[in-house]
Structures are given as C-alpha cells and as structure tokens.
Amino acid sequence: MRKFENISYMPLRPKGSTFDKRVGTMDWVIFAILFLYALIIIYPFYNALLISISPERIYLNTPFLLYPKEITMDNYATVFSSTMLWSGVKITLILLFLGTAYQLFFTVITGYALSRNKWVGKNFVMNMILVTMFFGGGLIPYFFLIKNLGLYNTLWVMIIPGAIDTYNMLLMRNYFASLPPDLEESAKIDGANDIQIFFKVYLPMSLPMLATIGLFFAVGNWNSWYNGMLFVETQSLKPLQLVLREMITTSASSVETLGQKATYSEGLTMASVFFSIVPMMCFYPFLQKFFVKGLVVGAIKG
C-alpha cells in the first residue's frame, strides 16, 4: 500500500471520470465548514437527549453537560406511562392517517382538475382560490362556522377544515401540468372520460409525487396544534404537539394555583420533545428523496 506523504494530495478518481480530481486544501475547508454546520444542527437534539437522560441534579449542577455522566431512564419511564401523552399520540396518529388520506384525496383531484386546459369556469375557480390565500374573515366568524357545523370539541375539527391546502394543491397542479399532454389525448381517443383518465393514466404516473405531498401532509398533521388549542376542550382529544406545548410552557412557572397544576422538569420536557422527534428522525433519512422531489417540482417547474 502506498503511503501518502501529504494527505491533501490523495488522488480520488471517481468512476467514469477521466479528469484528475484532487482533494485540495479547499476541499478540507469546505469539509470542515459543513461538518461544523452539521454539528450545529445536531447539537440541540443531542442536548435535549442529554438532558432527558440525565438526573435533574446532574443537569442543574453541571454547567457544561457534554456527555452523560449518569444515565437515568426515569424521564422516559414517566413519558411512556403518561396517559396524557399517549392520548396525544393516539389523536395525532388518527390525524396522521385519516387526515393525510383525506387531504391527499381532495388536494390531488383539485390539483388535477385545475391542471387540465379549457374547461368552463376554470379561470374563475382558480382566481377564487387564489383570493383566499390573501383574504380571510379572521378567527371570529371561523369560530361561528366551526360551532355551527358541529365540529367544536370533536376530533373532526382537526381534520375536516384542512381538506385542501392551497399551496400543495398548486404544487400538484404544476406537476400534472408538466406531464406530457399527449397521454390525455390518446386516452380520449380511446373513449375514456376525464375521471377515468385521471385514475388510469395520470394517477399511476404520479405515485412518487403523491408520496411527496402525502408526506408533507403527514408532517403537517404530526406538527399540528393550533386548531386543537382553539376548538378542543377535552383533554383526551388534544393532539401530541398541543400536549407538548402545554408541557413546555408550563414547566416550573411561578403561578399561583392550588396544587393542581402539574409541573414538569426540564428533563421530562426534553424527554417528551425527543419522544415526538424520534419517529421523524427514524423515517426521514429514507423518505428524504420524496420531500426533495416535491420541493423541486413545485419551485422550479412552477
């Protein structure tokens, strides 16, 4: 084996490239910068993990907690035994599956319809939708609406009002518009109607894009709390993020009540935070390409 005098001249020959691509000082600088950047991204997670597995006294008495001096799983035991958190998880999982499927269906058919040329009233509908991106009635009439539709304090209030996400719908529309139009024409010649064409021709072609949008919705549902805060009273109907929010903002604040307010230690809060991030952390590396794809289609071709 050859011994390298100076590592920065180590030749690196990627397959298929006939050019001499040397790893120069610049490469090391870039490597170092990006390495540091990645560390900055990772550190808060690491810190949260560290606090969550350290006993409170270690955390409070150690100004620089860089590695676990002593490991306790107490916080996680509390998290896993907390009915409040599990009921949050349950609700969030329902939102995740039911909500995502529901949103996906309506968003995709709308996106498809708007991507087709020449149908009566298309411009009208399009403008009608765009206006809503800027003008809304505000919370008060929305509250009336939710009450009158009978959605208040139900699970549905976190699902039904989210049927169509305008931004993702437009993404979908751009995607369908970018597919070759002759497919549609040849299907039409075969006598298929628009709905058949959509389901038989375009939908199968767009599965990767569907996955992308579906994932966006899934993340949105996993992170949702606002509607829950406003329209849900019952503790057992609150989604995970709302439960977490209550834990984060309640942690050891100086409020006068009579013994009924639970207080959460930093360790417990961080354990819950970590608990809610972990599923995403596990899936994300494998799903990343779908997310990226969606963003690229939406932004460049749109």
Q: Which of residues 124-163 bind another protein (CB under 8 A)?
A: 124-125, 127-132, 134-145, 147-149, 152-153, 161, 163
Angle between helices 25-53 and 266-296 (to 10 degrees): 140
What's the closest the beta carbon of residue 169 comes to another protein, in angstroms?
8
Taking the least distance from each CB to another protein, the nearer of 161 and 205 is 161
We find the least distance from the C-beta atom of residue 228 to another protein, in angstroms, to be 10
Stretch 65-94 residues interacting with another protein (CB under 8 A): 65, 84
Residue 1 sits in the site that holds another protein (CB under 8 A): no
Task: Please provide the DSSP assignment of 273-286 as one string.
Answer: HHHHHHHHHHHHHH
The angle subtended at Cα 286 by Cα 281 and Cα 287, nearest 5°, is: 90
- 49, 93, 113, 205: residue in contact with another protein (rule CB under 8 A): 113
Which of residues 2, 3, 67, 123 is near another protein by CB under 8 A? 123
Query: Which candidate, 161, 102, 98, places its Cα nearest to that of 132?
Result: 161
Q: Name the 3-class secondary structure at 67.
A: coil
Q: Which is nearer to another protein, 8 or 61 (CB)?
A: 61
Let me know: does 52 contact 271? Beta carbons within 8 Å: yes
Contact positions with another protein (CB under 8 A) in 29-58: 30-31, 33-34, 37-38, 40-42, 44-45, 47-48, 51, 56-57
Q: Tell me how far apart the alpha carbons of residues 234 and 145 are, in angstroms, rounded to a whole number.
A: 19
Among 61, 69, 200, 278, interactor with another protein by CB under 8 A? 61
C-alpha 231/C-alpha 227 separation (Å) is: 6
Q: Out of 11, 180, 204, 285, point to the residue binding another protein (CB under 8 A).
A: 285
Those residues whose C-beta lies under 8 Å from the C-beta of residue 94, and which sit 6 or more positions away, are 155
Of 51, 68, 47, nearest to 59 (Cα)?
A: 51
Inter-axis angle of helices 122-132 and 166-178, nearest 10: 140
Residue 2 interacts with another protein (CB under 8 A)?
Answer: no
Site string for another protein, 189-228 (x = CB under 8 A): ----xxx--x--------------------x---x-x---
Q: Kindly tell me which residue out of 78, 154, 178, 251 binds another protein, with binding defined by CB under 8 A.
A: 251
Identify the residue among 1, 7, 120, 189 touching another protein (CB under 8 A): 120
Nearest distance, CB of residue 180 and another protein, angstroms: 19
In this chain, which of 181, 183, 263, 282 binds another protein, going by CB under 8 A? Answer: 263
Taking CB under 8 A as the binding criterion, the range among 16-24, 91-99, 179-187, 205-213 that sits at the site for another protein is 16-24
Beta carbon nearer to another protein, 145 or 207: 145
As given in the structure block, the two tokens for residue 275 are 């608990």
Please provide the DSSP assignment of 10-56 as one string.
Answer: -B---TT--S--B--HHHHHHHHHHHHHHHHHHHHHHHHHHHHHS-H
